[in-house]
Structure 1
Amino acid sequence: MDQVTLASIDQPFFSTKEDGTGLGMVITKKISADHKGTLQVESQQSAWTKVWISLPLANDTLH
């Protein structure tokens, strides 16, 4: 994934696929944020893309 694409993936209706809606990452980011979580994307062009979704524990009993 190039830097322009990586910078645009959280924009509504942005897609690199001909038949894509461009809403998948936007919806995913919104759901994780609604649950006080984060979404992180890392990519090496033409090789791999990693997506991390981190969510807090429900009762936060470990702190």
Structure 2
Amino acid sequence: MYKQDLEQTLLDIDEEAELEIGPRDDRPSVVLVGGSAFMLNDVTNRAVTHDIDVFEA
């Protein structure tokens, strides 16, 4: 997965969540970890795995 694919996947997840649970003012905070976090912060430009590691903060 490349950075633009990852960004689009995260936007799609956000959109789907809003459709499922409705708009919320109290959105949970999440922290991305692993290769996805490195890629989004421009620490690496190589492809990373297709999973997205997330935990609720």
Shorter-chain TM band? 0.3 to 0.5
Question: Normalized against structure 1, the TM-score is what?
Answer: 0.36
Larger Rg over CA atoms: 1
Between Structure 1 and Structure 2, the one with more strand by share is 1
Between Structure 1 and Structure 2, the one with more helix by share is 2
Question: Normalized against structure 2, the TM-score is what?
Answer: 0.38
